[in-house]
Structure 1
Amino acid sequence: MTLSTADQSKLESFWQHCVTNQYFNIGYPESADFDYSQLHRFLQFSINNCGDWNEYSNYLLNSFDFEKDVMSYFAELFSIALEESWGYVTNGGTEGNMFGCYLGRELFPDGTLYYSKDTHYSVAKIVKLLRIKCRAVESLPNGEIDYDDLMAKITADQERHPIIFANIGTTMRGAVDNITTIQQRLRQAGIARHDYYLHADAALSGMILPFVDHPQPFSFADGIDSICVSGHKMIGSPIPCGIVVAKRKNVARISVEVDYIRAHDKTISGSRNGHTPLMMWAALRSHSWADWRHRIKHSLEAAQYAVDRFQASGIAAWRNENSITVVFPCPSERIATKYCLATSGNTAHLITTPHHHDNSMIDALIDEVVADAQLEAWRSTRAPAQQTAGERLPTASFNLRTHY
C-alpha cells in the first residue's frame, strides 16, 4: 500500500492526535491501558468468524478456538455451564442487547418489552427493528427501575409474558436494577418463572460485579436468561466489541443453516470480526482473577475519592453501590467540553476506569468545577446593577442542586 505524501502527513497528524488524547476519557467508560502488540501481525489476515464457533466452518481463517475460550470464561463468570449456554463476541453492547431482546421476542412473540427510562438509548432502536411491543417504565431517583411502576404497567397491560430489560449499571448513573426484586414482584403477581424473559444489560458493570465482595444479583444463578458486557469498557480494546451469553435452549430457536460455509449461524451480524475474539482472549489470559480484583478495587476507590472531594467542596456528588460512575450537577459548557463529559439534563458524570492510575485528572476536573461554582455563587450575591456587563454570566451554568 502506497500513500501520497499528503496522505501520509494526514495519518501522522491523526497519530499525534491519538497519542495526545489517549487517556482523555474521564467522561466515558473506556479503559485505555491495554497492549495488544502481540496481535499486530494478525492484521494482515482477513479473519472472519461467520457461524457457530462450536462447529466446523468451511471458511478456514477464523478464530473460533479463541472465541470458544472467551465464551467458556464468561459462562463461568456469569454462573452457567458452558454446555447449557451459547453466545458470541459481538460488535458491542447494542448488538448484545438486540440478541437478548430477539431471543425474548422469539420465546414470547406477543410479549411486551419493559425497560426503565434510564435504559441505554439503543433499546428504542431495537424495539423498532424487532417490532416488539414496549413500555417505558419510570426510574427511581438513583436510576434504578421503579418496581412499583413496572408492576403497575404489567398489570394494566394484562401482560402474561413480559420481557424484562434489566440494567446492570445504567449509562448515566451506574444503577443496578435488582433482578431478585423484579422476580419476587412478578411471582407475587402470579407470573410463573417460565412465563417471562429477563435480559441483563451489564455493559460496564458485567466486569465489575463478579470481582467485588458484595455484588448485587447479576448472573444466571440469580435468574437471568441472557446478559451482555462490553469488551472495550472495563477490559479495554482498540475496536468496540462485546460479549453476549444466553441459555442454549433459547438460542436454538434462531439457528439457521448456512450451506456454503457448512455451518449454523445464530448471530445477529453473520460475518463477524475475527480479531476481537483474539483481543478478548489475550486480555483474559493475561490478567488473573487477582489482577481483575485489583483493577476494580482501584477504580472503585478512585470513584469514592471523587465523591468525597466533591462533597467536601459543597458539590452534591454521589455514586451507586459498586459503581465507578460519579454523578454530579452539570457544570458549565466550557468544562463539559474540555473534559469530554457525558451530560444529560442537569446531570453529568465522570467514570474512573482503570487507566486513571492516579487522581490527577479527577483533581483537575473537580478544581475547575468548584472554582466555577464559587464564582457563580459570588456573582449571584451581587445586585445586577452592581455588575458590569463583563462580570455577568450568560445564564446559570452550574446547578448545585442534586437531582433528587
Structure 2
Amino acid sequence: MMLSVAYQERLNDFWHYCLKNQYFNVGYPESADFDYSALYRFFNFSLNNCGDWDAPSNYALNSFSFEKEVMNYYADLFQIPFEDSWGYVTNGGTEGNMFCCYLARELFPHATLYYSKETHYSVLKIAKLLRMKSCVIRSLDNGEIDYDDLIDQVQRNGDKNPIIFANIGTTMSGAVDNIKIIQQQLEHVGIYRQDYYLHADAALSGMILPFVDCPQPFSFGDGIDSISVSGHKMIGSPVPGGIVVAKRKNVDRIAVDIDYICARDQTISGSRNGHSVLFMWAAIHNRSPQQWQQRIQHCLNMAQYAVDQFQEAGIDAWRNPNSITVVFPCPAEAVWKKHGLAVSEDHAHLIATAHHKDSHKIDALIKDVVASLQERLQLS
C-alpha cells in the first residue's frame, strides 16, 4: 500500500501513541502480553467464518477447522462433553451474552431476565433489543447478587421459568455470583432445574477459575446452561473477541438453513472474523495448563500485593476471592485519568493483568492514590 508522506506521518504518530499506551492502563482487563506475529501472513486473506463451523458453507476461505478445535478446548475447560455442546468465536462478550439470552428467550418466551445491579451495562441493552422482560436485583456489598432479593422478585412476578443472568466476575469488583446458592434457593420455592435458564457471564474470570485450586462454581458441571468469555481480556488479543459455549440441544432450536451459502447459521452476526479464531487457537496452543496456572497465579499475587500495599498505607482496598480486581476509594480525577482507571460512584479499581510482570505500574498508581486521598483528608 502506497500512502502519501502526510498519511505515513499520521500512522507513525499513531504507532508511537500505541507503543506508549499498550501497557499503560491498569484499570481495564486487557492482557497485552501476546505475540501473534506467526499469524501476520494470514492478513493477506479475507477469512470469513460465515455461519456454523460444524456445517461449512460454500465460502471456502474460512478457519472453521481451527474454530472446531477452539470450541473443543473450551467445552472441555467448562466441563461439558463436546458432542453435547455448541459455541463459536464471537466479536466480544456482549455478543456472547446476547446469543445466550436469545437461546433462553426461545426456550422460555414469556420469562423474565433477572440480573444484578452490578451486571455489565450491555445486558439492559440486550434485553431491550430482544424485547425481553427484565428485572434488576440488588447486590451485596462485595458485588454478588442479593440471593434473597432474587427469590423475592421471582416469586413476586409469579415467574415459573426465570432466566438468571449470573456474573462470574463483575465488572467493578470481580464478584462471582454463587450459582449453587441460586439453584438451592430456586428449588426451595419449587422451581427446579429443568424449569429455568442459567447463564454465566464469565468475561474475565472464565479464564481464571479453571486454573485455580478452589474455584467458585461456574461450569456446566455446576449446572449452567451457557457461558461467555472475552478473548481480549485474560487471554489477550489485538482485536476484541470472545467465546460462547451452550448446550447443543438448546442451540438447535434457533438454527436456520441458508440456501445461498449452503449452510446452517445460528450465530448473531452471521459473517464472523476468521482471524479472531486464529488468535484464540494460537493462544490455547501457546501455553500448557501448567503455564496458564502460573500466569493466573502471578496475576493473583500481584493483585494481593496491591491490596497489601494499599492497606499498609491506610487505604481501604480489597478484592474478592480468586479475583485480580482490586477495589479502593476513588482518587482525584487527575489521578484516575493519568492511570486509566475505571471508576464508579466513589470507588475505583485496578486489574492486575498478565503484562504487569513486576509492580512498577502498580507502585506508581498506589503512590498517586495515597497522595490524592491524603490531600482530600487534609482539605476536609
- TMscore range, shorter length: over 0.9
Counterpart position of 2:263 = 263
Are the counterparts in 1 of residues 307 and 319 from structure 2 also a CA contact under 8 Å? yes
- Give the match for residue 374 of structure 2: 374
In structure 2, how many angstroms separate the alpha carbons of the residues matched to 1:137 and 1:6?
53
Matches within 5 A, 1:3-402: 3-380=3-380
Secondary structure of the corresponding residue to residue 290 of structure 1: helix
Q: Which moved more, 1:273-282 or 1:2-11?
A: 2-11
Deviations for 1:348-375, whole angstroms, at most 9, x for unmatched residues? Answer: 0000000000001100000111122223
Higher Rg: 1
Secondary structure, aligned partner of 1:28: coil
Letter in 2 for 1:318: W
Name the amino acid aligned to 1:42.
F
Per-residue deviation, 1:262: 0.9
- 1:176 CA displacement: 0.1
Q: Distance in 2 between matches of 1:375 and 1:108?
A: 54
Structure 1 residue 144: deviation in Å?
Answer: 0.2
The offset of 1:377, in angstroms, is 2.6
Q: Which runs of 5+ in 2 are unaligned?
A: none
3-state SS of 1:198 partner: strand
Structure 1 residue 231, shift from structure 2 partner: 0.4
**Which letter does structure 1 place at the counterpart of 2:190?**
G
AA at the equivalent of 1:166: A
Distance 2:168 2:302 in 1: 20
2:243 partner SS: strand
Aligned mates of 1:134, 1:248 — CA distance in 2: 25
Measure the CA separation in 2 of the matches of 1:181 and 1:336: 36
Deviation at 1:376, TM superposition (A): 2.8
Deviation at 1:378, TM superposition (A): 3.1
CA contact (8 A) 2:335 2:372 kept: no
Distance 2:281 2:53 in 1: 14
- Report the Cα distance in structure 2 between the residues aligned to 1:69 and 1:132, rounded to whole angstroms: 33
Q: Which deviates the most, 66-75 or 51-60? A: 51-60
Secondary structure of the residue that 1:89 maps to in structure 2?
A: strand
Give the TM-score of the pair, scaled to structure 2.
Answer: 0.99
Letter in 2 for 1:287: R
TM-score, structure 1 normalization: 0.93
SS of structure 1 residue aligned to 2:235: coil
Verify the 8 A CA contact 2:257 2:263 in the aligned structure 1: yes
Report the residue type matching 1:28 in the other structure: Y
Query: Using the alignment, how far apart are the partners of 1:322 and 1:368 within structure 2?
Result: 26
| Distance in 2 between residues matched to 1:199 and 1:82, nearest whole Å | 18
Give the Cα separation in 2 of the matches to 1:219 and 1:373.
Answer: 40
Corresponding position of 1:401: none
Q: How big is the shift at 1:263?
A: 0.7
Letter of the 2:284 partner, please give it. L
- Residue 190 of structure 2 aligns to a residue in which SS? coil
Distance 1:166 1:377 in 2: 38
Shift of residue 247 of structure 1? 0.0
Deviation of residue 260 (structure 1)? Answer: 1.2
> Displacement, 1:2?
1.9
Q: Percent identity?
A: 68
The separation in 1 between residues aligned to 2:56 and 2:270, in whole angstroms, is 15
Distance in 2 between residues matched to 1:294 and 1:283, nearest whole Å: 15
Query: In structure 2, how many angstroms separate the alpha carbons of the residues matched to 1:157 and 1:378?
Result: 50
- What displacement does 1:239 show? 0.6
Question: Deviation per CA, 1:275-298, whole angstroms, max 9, x where unpaired?
Answer: 000010001001100110000000
1:20 offset after TM fit, Å? 1.1
Q: Which amino acid aligns with 1:307?
A: V
Distance in 1 between the 2:21 and 2:9 partners?
18
Whole-angstrom distance in 2 between the partners of 1:299 and 1:32 = 13
CA contact (8 A) 2:67 2:89 kept: yes
CA distance in 2, matches of 1:156, 1:223: 24
Structure 1 runs (4+) deviating above 4 angstroms are none
SS at match of 1:279: helix
Helix, strand or coil at the partner of 1:243: strand
Distance 1:219 1:296 in 2: 18
